[in-house]
Amino acid sequence: MAPGQVPIVVLKEGTSETKGNQAQRNNITAAKTIAEIVRTSLGPRGMDKMLVDTLGDVTITNDGATILKEIDVQHPAAKMMVEISKSVDNEVGDGTTSTVVLAGSLLERAEELITKNVHPTVVVDGFKKAAQKAIDTLKDIAMKVDPVDKAFLSKIARTSMASKMVAADSKELADMVVSAVLAVAEKSGDQYKVDVDNIKVEKKAGGGIHDTKFIHGIVLDKEVVHGGMPKRIENAKIALVNAALEIEKTEMSAEIRISDPHQMQQFIDEENRMLKAMVDKIAAAGANVLLCQKGIDDIAQHYLAKAGILAVRRIKESDMYKLSRATGARVINNLDELTANDLGYAKLVEERKVETDKWVFVEECKNPKSVSILVRGGSQRVVDEAERSVHDAIMAVKDVVEYPYVLVGGGAPEALASLKLREWAATLSGREQLAAEKFADGIETIPLALAENAGMDPLDTQAQLRSKSSTGKARYGIDVLNGKVADLAAKDIYEPLAVKEQVINAATEAACMILRIDEVIAASKSKDMPKPGGGHGGGSMGGSDMDM
């Protein structure tokens, strides 16, 4: 440095900086590592992962999104892979593993091009065009189906569950899932809309997976409040009340002065009379079941029991909304306004013992717009995994009801799409052609990963797949259970087009985003973090007041 020159410090001390090829290689390696973790859990022959968190809680699953959610990922590029699996899970619910595997595979192929000095921007452009082409190809080969055809929707649900632990019971579960989704589907114009929140999935260890029940109504994990109340009511007229059956404290601080004991007695009697008046209003409206979001006073419980009303208290707000949709009752905030018109109907309300807990079942509501599935299983781990499988199946069926196009599963559409992409790539000129070919290789990874997980030889499988796909029909994929390439439409293996589109879009976007990064600047983690709110003495407090 020349004398007299002062060094310029641009970045804070301790900041680490990785540039150029090194940064790209690090990011790609991190993302590929994440893809490697879930690759072995793809498909019906995929292996499960056991994840142990910091508290020692164990999760056993092969659901891509769950695996990545439970791992504590540090590297920023790896975090992006976790994000895409989450977003695919929220959007379409299935295909989370495929997305991550595809993104990892695209990055691997891109790395080969970058080492040959193809600029990342060229690769990104090629990938984006190829992704669009792949989606167009899938749309061409997709089959339109009837969105309310139970038999076909059941095939979709079964395919979704085939790769999960509940595969053996998938037939019964699939029928429940389809019934649940169709119960809450609402028609608007020519299309259907499904709000998955209206399907309540409750889980409880005990019994076997085959003990899972579909309930035309709602299951409440609460018990009846008073021992003297009836535990079973048929033809229930249900009042949903969002007000406490208790004597409310005054808003202001009030005091009552009592000069002789009679006044004390009058005071207690008056409280009793007020509580009895509340119960009388409920009975007068003709209700024989009271479901309350707030508390119920002991004396009110006594009067309710005398009136033969079954009552449950402190129900979650989300459950109150579902109960309202299921029974047709209106949620009342003021008891004075309760009338017979506000009551809901269920054929049966009953308290039952579920393992060690008592739960209340509100069953057989007429055309309920909110329903429940009570998942059972041998142990807590099994029930957790069964619940995840049911959730994925519900989402897959919902996708088809809302967007009624399906493809054959088992890697068949990917095999055909990669073939069409190679033909299309030959018409391109320049380096984009290389990127498009690599994209075709990348998308072929999904059927190959399925084959590897089933113990098949990847090279033979690839050769067979390519020759079968050249017939132009997207029917030939990996028959995982028999370990060969076969016609999967004959085996009723179907997947929603919505899931495939989302998988390709999400994976391509994540891969392109990671490829575009050529520099990583990481701030140093400071040893002593300043306490929140402090830091600048009194001055900062004054400032924060100004902003309020």
Q: What is the pLDDT of residue 353?
A: 86
- % residues pLDDT > 70 (the chain): 95
CB atoms within 10 A of CB 191: 12
**Which residues are marked as active site?**
63, 96-97, 392
Q: Is 433 in a helix, a strand, or coil? A: helix
- 542 falls in which pLDDT band (50, 70, 90)? very low
**Under a CB-based contact definition with an 8 Å cutoff, are residues 221 and 311 in contact?**
no
Contacts of 100 (CB under 8 A, 6+ apart): 34, 35, 38, 64, 68, 81, 84, 85, 507
Q: What is the residue type of 241? A: V
pLDDT(531) > 80: no
Residue 484 exposure: Cα atoms within 13 Å on the Cβ side: 4
Structure tokens at 64: 């891509």
Q: What is the pLDDT of residue 108?
A: 92
Number of residues in the chain: 548
Structure tokens at 214: 């579909």
Structure tokens at 278: 């509340």
Measured N-to-C along each axis, helices 76-91 and 20-39 cross at an angle, to the nearest 10 degrees, of 40
Residue 285 exposure: Cα atoms within 13 Å on the Cβ side: 28
pLDDT(14) > 50: yes
CA distance 275 to 83: 52
pLDDT digits (tens, 9 = 90+) for 470-523: 776 778 888 888 888 888 888 888 888 999 999 999 999 999 999 888 888 888
Query: Sign of the CA dihedral 317, 319, 323, 325?
Result: positive
Measured N-to-C along each axis, helices 458-469 and 412-425 cross at an angle, to the nearest 10 degrees, of 70
Q: What average pLDDT score do residues 430-451 get?
A: 89
pLDDT digits (tens, 9 = 90+) for 286-300: 888 888 888 888 888
